[in-house]
Amino acid sequence: MRLGAVIITMGNRPDDLRALIDSVAKQDGDPVEVVVVGNGAPVGDVPDGVRTIELPENLGIPGGRNVGIEAFGPSGGDVDVLLFLDDDGLLPGTDTAELVRAAFAADPVLGIVSFRIADPETGLTQRRHVPRLRASDPLRSSRVTTFLGGANAVRTKVIAEVGALPGDFFYAHEETDLAWRALDAGWMIDYRSDMVLFHPTMPPSRHAVYHRMVARNRVWLARRNLPAPVVPVYLGVWILLTLARRPTVPALKAWFGGFREGWTTPCGPRRPMKWRTVWRLTRLGRPPVI
């Protein structure tokens, strides 16, 4: 099974990027071909054999990853599976690639695998990095309904069938958009605790656009993918959850500004999931209202 890896970078973490590339090169089995996308920034020095693409502007996380996908042919079809890895991450084990190959070879309906993200200093995994509601035990693998954007593997047949990441999202929720489309097409998603990416613990709100993008893209996600009766329930629940978290006044203003933007701007093509997919999400432990 042929593996490729897509890494996007802003060019501001050259040492971390080199360490990640080295950890990919150390994987057991056949070599993993690596493409590094400079998202509006120069890539810098990389080892021989690593392909680079330097974009003239920052296309955002999904846009940059989509460029990396196409570097492996239409919909990434030159390989069987693509790894998407954050440029400040690191694969601590040398068996991750072989675990990925074995997982996809053993399960023909497995479309996406979400890795476990662990802090390199403590080894701990944050609850928000376990893509399910029952997240108290990060060492338990399971079927899930979404995946982590910077630590995952995607079968390229999924991309060919349901399309790539939504580029207009720029940042936040693009993984869930792809996950819902994949599940609606009959694919499954696994969270695997034995496939680990080291990544320093950082709050997502470190990104200046966090609150606005999270809210705007939440609305876009619902408008694009959910049956009409579910949309107000889903968004109503997320309004209540946001208020319950008691954000600061500036953060709340940014959030509601993004929420309003999500209703007043185009969200892309609307393809509501089948009701049987709603039931599948519910049986997997996360109905599409939360």
pLDDT at 126: 95
Could you say which DSSP state residue 34 is in? E
Residue 1's contacts (CB-CB under 8 Å, 6 or more residues apart) are 80, 81, 101, 104, 105
Q: Return the closest-CA partner of residue 235 out of 256, 264, 250.
A: 256
For residues 172 and 214, is the Cβ–Cβ distance under 8 A? yes
Residue 56's contacts (CB-CB under 8 Å, 6 or more residues apart) are 40
Task: Give residue 135's region: left, alpha or beta (phi > 0; psi -120 to 50).
Answer: alpha
**How confident is the prediction along the chain (290 residues), in pLDDT tens digits per residue?**
999 999 999 999 999 999 999 999 999 999 999 999 999 999 999 999 999 999 999 999 999 999 999 999 999 999 999 999 999 999 999 999 999 999 999 999 999 999 999 999 999 999 999 999 999 999 999 999 999 999 999 999 999 999 999 999 999 999 999 999 999 999 999 999 999 999 998 776 555 689 999 999 999 999 999 999 999 999 999 999 999 999 999 999 999 999 999 999 999 999 999 999 999 999 999 999 98
pTM higher than 0.85: yes
Which residues face 51 on adjacent strands? 35
pLDDT at 206: 54
pLDDT at 290: 87
Percent of the chain surpassing pLDDT 90: 96
Edge-to-edge, what's the strand order for the sheet holding 188-198? Answer: 51-54, 33-38, 3-9, 81-85, 151-155, 110-118, 188-198, 142-144
